[in-house]
Amino acid sequence: MTSPRKPAGTVASVTEPEPETETGATAHARTDDGFDGESEFTARLENFLSDHCSRITDPAEDEGEADGLVRTRAFQGALVEARLAGLTYPTHLGGAGLSAQHQEVFTRVSAGWRLPNGPLAISHGMCLPMLNQFGTEEQKATYLPDNISGRSIWCQMFSEPGAGSDVAGLSMRATRDGDEWILDGQKVWTSGAHYCDFGIVVARTDPTLPKHQGLSMFIVDMRSPGIEVRPLVQISGARGFNEVFFSEARIPAANLLGEVNQGWNLAVSMLMFERVSIGAGGGALNARRSPELAALAREMGQASNPVIRQGLADLHIREEIKGYIGQRIRSSVAAGRVPGPEGSIAKLNGADLARRTRDLAMSIIGTAGQAWDGMDPSSDAAARWSSFCISAAGVSIAGGTDEVQRNIIGERVLGLPREPDSFKGAPWQDIPRN
């Protein structure tokens, strides 16, 4: 088993499968100490946030990626010291051993603060619950403490250039060689891979089986020989996404997550965690934007505009609804259940909210959001929100496109018939590919 390395990176991911079945995960191990001290816990949390964070209405600090990672790790370390990290995870694995109610209070109270934990979105929103629910006891003991503390940062590797929204059609190979697995292939749109310490990857272990049955999931050390990370430059200039190439990369057999050829069930579970993280999670990824936009409206002289005021009210209401959706799902996850189609509902709603936020921001900023002058006092706000608006459409892709989510909801909630598949049950190796 590889031992966790200390320093390195983050995430967000773009995966688009079409789930068939869901897995029954093992129970979420935690110590529930009841919830008798809400006021005391809230006060302790508010004191911590006031010491370590800025208000959501305060201007965002402009810092480079390296400084951001240092700040993230320092912040997460402070959370650990304050017994506020990994709230529902057991203490012997680095968590706080508290209840789901404590997590809800944390999510509610922290919504008013700018938490510097963006690089941990995938680590904590996807990889951490997967390791906890499907990892062996040895894997949990090895990886959870450093993941919770931010000493190691994780990424997720599903998407491939030739698979598109059909993650089950992936072609990356994993071949058993004694006490090791050999990985060959390519992943794409891997958020934060260039600074992440570890990743979770899905590969094909048996091409003679139907495409949903011949997959397995693995834990990989991102610094292993044979793994190359190449950044992808976006229209905004950001370099958060990457291509990852595996060329005879060897990993210990003990790094198998779950059972051989059961990777699709685990992939569905992880995708649901991703969708929940995008559509109903806490932290930087799901920070409420309405207070920021209200402050922006005042800054831009738009606070008395009735159309803008109506837009802000509508956004506030929708964020409240999103919060209630998230509360329900997070309680389910804390109880040890893998999110089902409700994750798709949350994700679809989150994508719609991102687009509405984008449109309102551009209505407030006006043409300054398209071209700004560095000498203009409003330039910083215009540049910041323009960058957000450019990337907002990506929320409709990450974790499965809106179209995929609607298919899932239609089939698994509404009971509509599945689309016909002429290759259903055929060995993956016999299915034509581009």
Which residues are designated catalytic? 274
Q: What angle do CA 220, 166, 118 make, to 5 degrees?
A: 50
How buried is residue 93: exposed, middle or buried, by Cβ count under 10 Å (0-12/13-18/19+)?
buried
Query: How far is the C-alpha of 297 from the C-alpha of 301, rounded, in Å?
Result: 6
Query: How far is the C-alpha of 85 from the C-alpha of 100, rounded, in Å?
Result: 13
Query: How far is the C-alpha of 335 from the C-alpha of 327, rounded, in Å?
Result: 12
Shortest CA distance to 78 belongs to which of 108, 116, 43, 132? 116
* Helices 306-334 & 263-280 angle (0-180, nearest 10): 140
CA 317 to chain centroid: 24
Shortest CA distance to 399 belongs to which of 294, 271, 298? 271
Q: How many CA atoms lie within 13 A of 117 on its CB side?
A: 33
Shortest CA distance to 255 belongs to which of 193, 198, 294? 198
φ/ψ region of 367 (left if φ > 0, alpha if ψ in -120 to 50, else beta) reads alpha
DSSP letter at 127 equals I
Query: How far is the C-alpha of 414 from the C-alpha of 400, rounded, in Å?
Result: 19
End-to-end CA distance of the chain: 37
